[in-house]
């Protein structure tokens, strides 16, 4: 990825994982949740439903991502996540 960003890939059965070095901005990191099949709107609703200041995003029962030092409520489905590997999706 250009600019030194990282891609964190999550699939079903990843369980409850922690990302300790997620960065938004110029060297933007991305979280690949394409295996979950979320639309941009579905994922944004999940993000918006988190409590401001919360660091954990629950994707499915037993499947969550904790972002150390990141307010999940401030993330954006269309900027911080990979939802599909299909061009134009």
Q: Does a structural domain hold residue 88?
A: no
For 11-29, what is each residue's pLDDT tens digit? 888 899 999 989 876 558 9
pLDDT at 1: 42
Question: What's the total number of domains in the chain?
Answer: 1
pTM confidence score: 0.86
pLDDT at 80: 94
For 30-76, what is each residue's pLDDT tens digit? 999 999 999 999 999 999 999 999 999 999 999 999 999 999 999 99
Q: Does a structural domain hold residue 47?
A: yes
Q: Does a structural domain hold residue 20?
A: yes
Cα–Cα distance measured from residue 11 to residue 14, given in angstroms and rounded to the nearest whole number: 6
Residue 65 contacts residue 15 (beta carbons within 8 Å): no
Question: 53: domain range?
Answer: 2-82
Rg (CA), the chain: 12
Helices (H) and strands (E) in the chain, counts: 2, 6
Q: How confident is the model at residue 87 (pLDDT cuts 50, 70, 90)?
A: low
Residues in a beta bridge with 31 = 8, 81
Q: Does a structural domain hold residue 87?
A: no
Look at phi and psi of residue 62 and say left if phi exceeds 0, alpha if psi is from -120 to 50, else beta. left
């Amino acid at each position: 990825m250009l600019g030194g960003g990282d891609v964190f890939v999550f699939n079903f059965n990843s369980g409850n994982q922690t990302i300790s070095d997620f960065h938004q901005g110029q060297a933007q990191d991305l979280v690949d949740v394409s295996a979950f099949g979320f639309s941009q709107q579905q994922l944004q609703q999940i993000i918006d439903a988190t409590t401001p200041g919360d660091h954990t995003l629950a994707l499915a029962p037993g499947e969550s991502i904790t972002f150390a030092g990141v307010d999940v409520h401030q993330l954006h489905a269309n900027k911080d996540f990979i939802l599909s590997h299909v061009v134009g999706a």
